[in-house]
Amino acid sequence: MKPNTTHYQLTASEFDWKISDNKTVKAWGFNNTLPGPVIKAKKGDTVVVNVVNNLQEPTMIHWHGIRLEASMDGTGVVQGPILPGEQFEYRFTVPDAGTFWYHSHENEVQQMERGMYGALIVKDDNDPAMDEERIFMIDDMKLTKSNDFKRGNFIQRWVERHDGREGETLLINGKENPLIEIYAGQVERWRFVNSSSARYFRLHLDGNPFKIIATDGGLIESPIEVSEVLLVPGERVDIVVGPFSEGHSFALQSLPYNRVTFKKSVHEKFASVEVKNAKTSRAVLPGQLRSIEPLAPQQAAITRKVKLSVDPSLKRGIDFRVNNELHAEDEPVNAGELQIWEVYNASLMDHPFHLHGFFFQVLEINGIAPAYLAWKDTVNLAPRTKVKIAWIPDNRPGRWMYHCHIIEHHQAGMMGHFEVVDPAKGPMASTHAHHGHSCKTESDVETA
Ligand SMILES: [Cu+2]
């Protein structure tokens, strides 16, 4: 099938958003909805998104999980911020099918908390046929009694910096405790995105089994039956649910997960599921979904070590660092060269590690190979844990980054910058932050 070009406009602004009958918040988001509109494309398409900034502050949009050109990654090292009243056109092809998302990459602790995110779904002809497909964006908000986003006193702010911001208002697709109705006998694909600042979402369907079919980088090789799965901030998982019998009802919930924070994790309900009358099913879930070539054997020699740590600081009380630095500058990598990285969490709390723009395979976690092969861009590191990952930078030279996806830790400095170098051309001249005006011209490269 011939690739298409799909156009979207996302207008960022503040608006009233009703999250439940008695709670309305001053949200920041896109096109007056929370989450923003779902961006849909087919594998190989070109997506053009014109972002208009009607907020009172600058913004930038990151396309989480999309293997795009460095200049379209939406971070402060590849573009200038989109200033209030200005716009910027993002244009990229989507080479992989899967569940992706977009979110603000500027002042995220405010902008993401208030709702600046949405899903980006890329389909493919070989996706399994399902009766229905749904997207669930998991989030929470920390609201005051008057439903605003004010931050607390010094101690509360310190805890928030340490733990990441987690609130009591639990959201699925911008709503508190929504009702999900499913027909008896039917089988559905549910795509989950953890778009929260810091919440560890341990998905559980009241004990009803479900099958994992995809992760960050699309389908895995075969469905895996489980009754729970952990989804850390930034991560995605697609599951297949059903068939259920008529009249059955259950809660979509998150089991407690101790990520070693001051705020204690508890069992929480996010939504109610009710099974209606029966309908015939035309869903087919094959035993083999895809094949994934391993990039390297488990014992492959390490080419780089990355250390995440939480250290005392005289100035700030506590620092979140990479390789003992705040906002570290890491060594460049050459396009085409296999990377075997050992990412070590030297701290006593969990951190979700996110690599921009490229997928990796997890080779081992503390010496043990994962249960199944998958393409990932976000992986959790429990305290004192070493994760060995393999990835190959394809030839998309420029400035890239990795960071903890707990937004407060990211902002505090737990991130590393590096350059992907085209070996034929050598390092690029510094491409730091040129000004980000709209660059809509007819000569933009069309990828047919
Ligand atoms: Cu962290």
- Identity at 219, one-letter amino acid code: L
- Residue 297: CB atoms within 10 A of its CB come to 10
Decide: helix, strand or coil at residue 41: strand
DSSP state of 115: T
**How far apart are alpha carbons 331 and 40 in whole angstroms?**
36
Half-sphere exposure (Cβ direction) of 125: Cα atoms closer than 13 Å: 5
Residue with tokens 């890491």: 330
Place of tokens 């297949």: 240
Picking from 150, 199, 197, the residue whose alpha carbon sits closest to that of residue 25 is: 150
Q: What is the mean pLDDT of residues 170-183?
A: 98
Amino acid at 156: Q
Between the CA of 380 and the centroid of ligand 1 the distance, in Å, is 10
Model confidence over 376-407: pLDDT tens digits? Answer: 999 999 999 999 999 999 999 999 999 999 99
Q: What is the mean pLDDT of the chain?
A: 93
Kindly report the backbone phi and psi dihedral angles of residue 224, in degrees, each rounded to the nearest multiple of 5, phi listed first.
-120, 120
Q: What's the pLDDT at 186?
A: 98
The answer to whether residues 275 and 241 touch, using CB atoms and an 8 Å cutoff, is no
Residue 446 three-state SS: coil
Task: Decide if pLDDT at 446 tops 70.
Answer: no
Which token pair is 390?
């393999």
Q: How confident is the model at residue 438 (pLDDT cuts 50, 70, 90)?
A: very low
Which residues share a beta bridge with 229? 203
86 CA to middle of ligand 1, Å?
Answer: 32
Residue 7 burial class via C-beta count within 10 angstroms: exposed 0-12, middle 13-18, buried 19 and up = exposed
Q: Six-digit token pair at 11?
A: 């207008």
C-beta separation of 135 from 296 below 8 A: no
Residue 368 C-alpha to ligand 1 middle, in angstroms? 22
Lowest mean pLDDT among 113-117, 266-270, 335-339, 366-370: 266-270
Nearest CA-CA partner of 116 in 124, 106, 127, 125? 106
Ligand 1 centroid – CA 370 distance (Å): 22
Check pLDDT > 90 for residue 263: no
Res 292 pLDDT > 70? yes
- Nearest CA to 111 among 411, 416, 438, 432? 411
> 197-243: per-residue pLDDT in tens?
999 999 999 999 999 999 999 999 999 999 999 999 999 999 999 99
Share of the chain above pLDDT 90, in %: 88
| pLDDT of 448 above 90 | no
SS3 309: strand
Ligand 1 mean position, distance from CA 41 (Å):
32
Given a cut of 50, is residue 146 above it in pLDDT?
yes
Instruction: Compute the distance from residue 345 Cα to the ligand 1 centre, in Å.
Output: 9
SS3 labels along 219-267 = EEEEEEEECEEEECCCCEEEEEECCCCCCCEEEEEECCCCCCCCCCCCC
CB 290 within 8 A of CB 214: no
Average pLDDT score over residue span 285-307: 97
Give the model's pLDDT for residue 445: 29
Whole-number Å distance between alpha carbons of 81 and 111: 13
Torsion of CA 326, 389, 74, 25, to 10 degrees: -80
Residue 167, pLDDT score? 92
pLDDT on residue 436 = 33
**Residue 266 pLDDT:** 87
Q: Which of 140, 162, 142 is nearest to 152 (CA)?
A: 142
262 CA to centre of ligand 1 in angstroms? 14
pLDDT, residue 429, reads 55
Query: From CA 238, how far away is CA 131, in angstroms rounded?
Result: 15
Task: State residue 152's pLDDT score.
Answer: 85
Examine the pLDDT at 408 and tell me if it is beyond 60. yes
**pLDDT at residue 246 tops 50:** yes
Task: Find the helix or strand (DSSP H, E) in which 310 lies.
Answer: strand 304-313
CA of 403 to the centre of ligand 1 (A): 8
Calculate how far, in angstroms, residue 39's C-alpha sits from the geometric centre of ligand 1: 28
What are the DSSP calls for 328-367, one per residue?
A: EEPPPEETT--EEEEEEE-SSS-EEEEESS--BEEEEETT
pLDDT at 349 over 80: yes
29's tokens: 């988001």
- Is the peptide bond between 223 and the residue preceding it cis, with omega within 30 degrees of 0? no
Amino acid 3: pLDDT: 82
Span from the CA of 448 to the centroid of ligand 1 (angstroms): 40
For residue range 48-101, what is the model confidence (pLDDT) as tens digits?
A: 999 999 999 999 999 999 999 999 999 999 999 999 999 999 999 999 999 999
Euclidean distance between CA atoms 253 and 91, whole angstroms: 37
Helix-, strand-, coil-residue percentages of the chain, each rounded to 5: 5, 45, 50
Q: Side-chain half-sphere of 297: how many Cα atoms within 13 Å?
A: 3
pLDDT tier at 261 (50, 70, 90 boundaries)? confident
Residue 317: pLDDT over 60:
yes
- Supply the DSSP symbol for 158: H
